[in-house]
Structure 1
Amino acid sequence: MSEAEKKATPEYTEEELAQMGPVKRWIKTHPNIWEFILFNILSNVSTIARFVVTWIGTAIFVTGMGLTTPFHFLIFNYDEQGNGLGGFLTFLCAEVIAQVVNFFVQMKWVFKSDSSFKDAAWKYAILAVIIVVVNLVLPGYVTGLCQGWGMGAGLAGTVASVVNTLLAVIVSYPLLKFWIMPKNNK
């Protein structure tokens, strides 16, 4: 075992590590890498929620109700190619649901934070507002671009959701780990 591995796992003796299976031993000797992997895997819970709500919202607001009237407000730009008001409502609902799901998944399963709910919730709310605003601004442009390339509304919405998800991971992981949900914060 290298010196770095010994420092990363001071609570385990070499004998205990030797008795572990290779996967468990790797997890115990690389806790930060494992946490990032877990963050990405379990972020898919909120990603799945985001996609499902995007598909349902597109079916209801765009296809079913025909709410494709262009919607422009402050920084939000949802023209007809961006599915208009229906696109905005779809992404608003998808982002709110995804952020609520993600808060609980990350706090309880990934970071196993001992921060109080009250302390973490207001910080996460700030992060969520930033993510939601960015994720509401971006899809109007991405969806419009994708539809301009000939994609249908459903596929264009899916591409916009993928872009939103990647951006959210890049921004949220360090903020969640070090500011919102740190361990040993009591």
Structure 2
Amino acid sequence: MLSSIVRFKERHAELYEFIMFNLLSNIATITNFVVLNIGNSILFKSLLDIPFSFLIFNYKTESGGLGGFLAFLLSFFCAQAVNFIVQRNLVFNSNNKLGSAIPIYLLTVMIVYVICLYIPTLVLEPLSAVVGSFWGMNLTNAINILVQVIIIYPVLKFVVMKKLPEQNEKAI
């Protein structure tokens, strides 16, 4: 079986990389869901009934209020920190300098952050009305994760994790 995987990787390197990106993103996804649920049920539980509105973010109590906002914020941050490490080391095997990779990744994450903090203001309340608040929160999180993959994968692949050419030592 291992030899089949190696042959597939050799023949379809790009597809293999994308599959690995998605499979190993599950580590960040699990982190995201665990932190989100701990945030809502423990860390920010007392803030769920406090409406929160700032710029484009409008978290009514039906959308989790300030507690919901903070739980989505914390879960996204933790997941992206885990994702950077996993993707750099296990998927892209990047050898570029962290000093140039991290600022671009952080900018990308901040843009995605704003998008993913805004999405719950659009979909959480209607989803919760149909499937209940627990499933509404988790379905909203799944939508956020899909948006993250669509944006972050190309940025990681073509910009942040771009490999530097290996330098061969010249024989004397």
Letter in 1 for 2:33: F
Counterpart check, 1:24 vs 2:3: no
- 1:182 Cα deviation (Å)? 0.6
The residue type equivalent to 1:172 in the other structure is I
TM-score (norm. length: structure 1): 0.83
- The structure-2 alpha-carbon separation of the partners of 1:61 and 1:84, relative to structure 1 and needing over 3 Å to count, comes to farther
| TM-score in terms of structure 2 length | 0.90
Tell me how large the CA RMSD over aligned residues is: 1.6
Q: For 1:1-186, what aligned pairs fall within 5 Å after superposition?
A: 21-61=3-43, 64-149=45-130, 151-184=131-164
**CA-to-partner distance for each residue in 1:40-99, whole Å, 9 max, x for gaps?**
00111111000001111110256x415322111001111111111111010010011011
Identity level (%): 39
Query: 1:58, 1:171 → 2: CA distance?
Result: 26
Unmatched 5+ residue regions in structure 1? 1-19
Report the Cα distance in structure 1 between the residues aligned to 2:155 and 2:5, rounded to whole angstroms.
Answer: 28
Classify the secondary structure of the residue corresponding to 2:50: coil
Deviation at 1:28, TM superposition (A): 1.3
Say how many residue pairs are matched: 165
Match of 1:65, SS state, is helix
Q: Distance in 2 between matches of 1:185 and 1:125?
A: 24
Structure number with greater Rg is 1
Q: Is the 8 A contact 1:58 1:154 kept in 2?
A: no
Letter in 1 for 2:138: T
Q: Which amino acid counterpart does residue 157 of structure 2 have in structure 1?
A: K
Q: Which whole-Å deviations, capped at 9, do the CAs of 1:137-175 have from their partners, x for residues lacking one?
A: 1113221111222x3322111001100000111111111
Aligned partners of 1:181 and 1:37: how far apart in 2? 16
Greater shift after overlay, 88-97 or 138-147? 138-147
Aligned AA (2:15): I
For residues 129 and 66 of structure 1, the distance between their equivalents in structure 2, rounded to whole angstroms, comes to: 24
Amino acid at match of 1:43: S
